[in-house]
Structure 1
Amino acid sequence: MSNTPLTPGVVAGRLGPEDYDKNFADAYPPLDPHEALVAADRCYFCHDAPCIAACPTEIDIPLFIRQIQTGMPKAAGKTIFEQNILGGMCARVCPTETLCEGACVREAAEGKPVKIGHLQRYATDTVMGIGSHPFARAPSTGLVVAVVGAGPSGLACAHRLAMYGHDVVVMDAREKPGGLNEYGIATYKTPDGFAQAEVDWLLGIGGITIKTGVRLGRELALAELREDFDAVFLAIGLAGVNALRAEGEAHDHVHDAVDFIAELRQSPDRRQIAVGRRVVVIGGGMTAVDAAVQAKLLGAEHVTMVYRRDRSRMSASQHEQLHAVSKGVQIITDATPLRVLGDGAVSGVEFAYTSEGADGLETIGAPFVVPADQVFKAIGQKLEAAPGGLEIDGSKIAVTGSGRTSLTGVWAGGDCAVGGDDLTVTAVAEGRDAAEDIHAELMAASRVAAE
């Protein structure tokens, strides 16, 4: 056992160069052709296919697995992309254990589902590796649609509209397109610049222009977009972060987990990312898990996730919870923060245990302190500012049907809109379905104008 004292404070370069490469390598390596054939052979090809019903984008899973089994991975990839143009990313980040694989008959019978996610990656990687785009663009309609937000929902909408022959201008506040896929997912899930490679591949359909560094409410006004474009799709995500509402939140080294994840994703050298010796992550969702695991991978010696309800209520899947624990993350449930302690910089967080009472959560028992020199908040996000004139339901844009908002000619989808599960795959489905509705509306209007 080393006698070297543990490095205090929040510092960079806790590990050796080889450790960073190892820790942030692809967490779930791809199948080789033989492994893919073996995995595909386990599928029962159910006629009622509960896996399809469990997929928000309704990919024909038995069909694409049959295509892999019969030596046609390119056809399998196209089957996936017909329903989910971001099927490559979804194969990497979807909680398949609670969606398609959770519904798999093999899971019910044996506790070991078909590796649907791995097979989807195998098929989509095959198609994307060819380089050419699998879909042809229809003749131009002369109509132009504005898509605000270049995340999963916006990109899915833009691709489907472009495929139908519409011209699409995608605008995003960030420097790069990709949204959550580029800035909000753990590095080890999407290594080697996959998010940008996927965007570049998607743009191969043609007819899509990307404009970055423009934000709705700053450079863009919704009224002007409605005037200048034939339709508008809002996929602006949730840029605002909920406040901790605990004393001491303003102490140094108390950060938003989404900012930490984004900084890590964009850093050319992970050795330059500072991390504490003792890290506390407050929250129970995927963002909390991604922040906690990556803090550990950066060299934090003690990482603790604290969630205010019991483990069954955590939005992070059981698979992700177990992954966090396997990396050395401690998970404390049924506890809520009272105070962030420290004198300038954080030194710990005081929590109280909670219990579900008649009026909601109640604090019980004596408070306890978790030592920390760095704290990440992962307690949810909200609309930074609601676009003027839109009806809001709670903290999101109210929509009906396939994303229609209260304003004529304006649709919305993804995290900013009511509905869905705040998953990449759900956002893709909402963008795709909104595009179908927008296309139908534009074509109907064109026919009326021509009469």
Structure 2
Amino acid sequence: MARKQVGDIAAARRSSEELAAAFEDVAPPLNRQRALIESQRCYYCYDAPCITACPTGIDIPGFIRSISTDNLRGAAETILSANIFGGICARVCPTEILCEGVCVRNTDEDKPVEISALQRYGTDWVFEENAALFQRASDSGKKIAVVGAGPAGLACAHALSLRGHQVQVFDRQPKAGGLNEYGIAAYKVPDFAQREIQWLLSIGGIEIVSDRELGKNLSLAELRAEYDAVFLGMGLAGVNALGIEGEQLSGVANAVDMIAQLRQCEDLQQMPVGRRVVIIGGGNTAVDAAVQSKKLGAEWVYMVYRRGAASMSATAHEQAFVKEQGVHVIEWAQPSRFIGVDGKLSAVEFEYTEADANGKARGSGEHFTLDADVALKAIGQVLVSAPLQAGQHEVLATKGGRIVVDSNYATSLSKVWAGGDCVGGKVDLTVQAVEDGKRAAQAIDRFLATEKTHG
């Protein structure tokens, strides 16, 4: 049997009509009738476990009750007061392990209330109509710098602006949004992220400054000197490397880069994809890259993870979804080398793994090979800590690859707070980053009030 063509990467593997259908909204919104019916399934629990399960503490029974009485403004105010990114979180939150996972209706005989769909129904109209739900306080005269225009940074900026402070948000990308704009599968948030951000910015008092990055054209020391406070919410910009043979071959790339490229691609027919694609990893990024490769027209897509399904960070829902999309999932295998011809990837060699006495994965000595035009690494992201030096003698404290913060999100440096993925926490999710930004803003506001009193 003839071996496949090496480096078979091409665009337009599917027609524009096929691509449009493939990348349609994966969870279409509820209409009014369905929303009213679903809202009436809620028991409006007094001590609702869904509220406790939500990192931002949204009063879920409260906003669902508002929907049941056709009070969309009330529902939106309840949701967005707690989570200013309630729109995108309704689309990307793993609700099956958060609010819906603990819904009292979630039994073998019943199903949970569709909280995420109701949350989307309760907020979508806000962004479509650019409705004004919040008003800034009078100008405080204070100026805060936020580094990172992702969920944590923008949530912090909005909360600070609401209190009358002026906020400048610096980001290394040309567009604001962070992972919401560059790191989430296109079929989950079609044409939405920027609408939500523009609505958030409409409160006023927030300026986005693009193409500015710590360590390059932005200095933490200068920000501390110029601003009354600084919030760091730049996420995890670095990507882990495998450190194996052939990693520099053409065709070997990071899954996050592929996802970002696709999100910024105006014509999906121009988006290149391999005929045979291998995804290395078991998290949501791996799932997003695998599913989108399949949707773009890859004939064979494999997602390979070094341990079993129970250890994958992708939720059970995401794991089931990736298989439904035709992706072949291989567990208990790790890459040992990338194989190339004339500098182009032709295959990936894997070693089967097994659990040792402590339950950790180890190589078994048995290998297999998958033909591949493209291999996408989705093995985790890391904090780039080099730019965090605040001055000649002051360095921001980090531990385990994350910025160290106290219970108020204050760092080891005066006037500097941090939140989101760069500090880590219970979960690396958009909703947690939003909560971090919100709580840090509260702490910064208290600090500024103290400074004003003492000043």
Q: Give 3-state SS (helix, strand or coil) of 1:346's partner.
A: strand
Identical amino acids, percent of aligned pairs: 53
Alignment of 1:341-356 (within 5 A): 341-343=339-341, 344-356=343-355
Could you tell me how far 1:370 is from its partner in structure 2?
1.5
Q: Distance in 2 between matches of 1:115 and 1:143?
A: 42
In structure 2, the residue matched to 1:287 is 285
Larger CA deviation: 283-292 vs 128-137: 128-137
SS in 2 for 1:331: strand
The match for 2:430 is 424
Distance 2:398 2:375 in 1: 32
Aligned to 2:379: 379
Q: Is the 8 A contact 2:281 2:303 kept in 1?
A: yes
Asked whether the equivalents of residues 307 and 353 of structure 2 are also in contact (C-alpha less than 8 Å), the reply is yes
Q: How far off is 1:324 after superposition?
A: 0.7
Change beyond 3 A, Cα 1:249–1:191: same
Task: Quote the residue 2:392 is aligned against.
Answer: none
1:448 maps onto 2:454 in alignment: yes
Residue 383 of structure 1 and its aligned partner are, at CA, apart by: 1.4
> Aligned to 1:337, which of 335, 338, 343?
335
Distance 1:425 1:404 in 2: 20
TM alignment of 1:354-433, pairs within 5 A: 354-358=353-357, 360-386=360-386, 387-388=388-389, 389-433=395-439
Q: Specify which of 248, 260, 263 is matched with residue 262 of structure 1.
A: 260
**Alignment partner of 1:300 is 2:294:** no
- Note the 1:23-422 alignment, pairs <5 A: 23-108=22-107, 110-192=109-191, 194-343=192-341, 344-358=343-357, 360-386=360-386, 387-388=388-389, 389-422=395-428
CA distance in 2, matches of 1:293, 1:6: 23
CA distance in 2 between counterparts of 1:110 and 1:276 reads 44
Q: Helix, strand or coil: the match of 2:313?
A: coil
| 8 A Cα contact 2:6 2:345, kept in partner | no
Deviation at 1:109, TM superposition (A): 5.6
Secondary structure of the 2:107 match is helix
Q: CA deviation at 1:205?
A: 1.0
* Post-superposition CA distance 1:107-148 (Å, at most 9, x none): 136351100000000001122233232001001110000000
Residue-by-residue CA offset, 1:87-117 (whole Å, 9 max, x unaligned): 0000011011111100111113635110000
Q: Secondary structure at the match of 2:167?
A: strand
TM-score (normalised: structure 1): 0.96
Whole-angstrom CA distance in 1 between matches of 2:169 and 2:225: 16
Query: Which range moved further: 127-136 or 94-103?
Result: 127-136
CA distance in 1, matches of 2:16, 2:163: 48
Summarize deviations over 1:26-76 as a string: whole Å, max 9, x none.
Answer: 111100000100110111111111101110000000000000001101110
Output the amino acid matched with 1:425: V
Deviation at 1:355, TM superposition (A): 1.8
Matches of 1:105 and 1:367 in 2, distance apart?
47
Indicate conservation of the 8 Å contact 1:398/1:418, yes or no.
Answer: no
- Distance in structure 2 (CA, Å) of the matches to 1:161 and 1:197: 21
After superposition, give the CA deviation of every residue in 1:244-271 in whole Å (9 maximum; x if it has no partner): 1221111110010000000000011011
Q: Which residue of 1 aligns with 2:9?
A: 10
Task: Tell me the SS of whatever aligns to 2:105.
Answer: helix
Q: Using the alignment, how far apart are the partners of 1:147 and 1:111 within structure 2? A: 45
C-alpha contact 2:59 2:79 (8 A) present in aligned 1: yes
Q: Distance in 1 between matches of 2:408 and 2:350?
A: 42
Separation in structure 2 between the aligned mates of residue 395 and residue 8 of structure 1, nearest angstrom: 35
Q: Deviations over 1:140-199 (max 9, x none)?
A: 11000000000000000000000000000001000000000000000011112x111111
Q: Deviations over 1:340-399 (max 9, x none)?
A: 112221111111111221463211151111211110000001112340110011111111
Compared CA separation, residues 7 and 373, structure 1 to 2 (3 A): closer
Any conservation in 1 of the 2:7–2:374 contact (CA below 8 Å)?
Answer: no
Q: How many residues align?
A: 444
Q: What's the secondary structure of 1:169's corresponding residue?
A: strand
What is the CA distance between 1:422 and its match in structure 2? 1.1
- Counterpart CA distance in 2 for 1:109 and 1:447 is 57
Residues 38 and 140 (structure 1 numbering): CA distance in 2 closer, same or farther, change over 3 Å? Answer: same
Bigger shift: residues 308-317 or 7-16: 7-16
Contact 1:278 1:301 in 2 (8 A): yes
Q: 4+ residue runs of structure 1 moved beyond 4 angstroms? A: 5-8
For residues 43 and 6 of structure 1, the distance between their equivalents in structure 2, rounded to whole angstroms, comes to: 56
Unpaired segments of 5 or more residues in structure 2? Answer: 390-394
Contact 1:420–1:427 under 8 Å retained in 2? no
Amino acid aligned to 1:363: G
| Equivalent position SS for 1:107 | coil
**More divergent stretch after superposition (336-345 vs 63-72):** 336-345
SS of residue matched to 2:351: strand
Aligned pair in 2 of structure 1 residues 329, 111: CA closer, same or farther (>3 Å)?
farther
SS at match of 2:78: helix
- Name the stretch that deviates more: 343-352 or 428-437: 343-352
CA-to-aligned-CA distance 1:187-244 (integer Å, 9 cap, x gap)? 011112x111111000111100110000011111101100000000000111111001
Question: Aligned letter for 2:16?
Answer: P
Shift of residue 8, structure 1, vs aligned partner: 7.3
Q: Cα offset for 1:7?
A: 11
Shift of 1:333: 1.1
RMSD value, Cα: 1.4
Q: Secondary structure at the match of 2:385?
A: coil
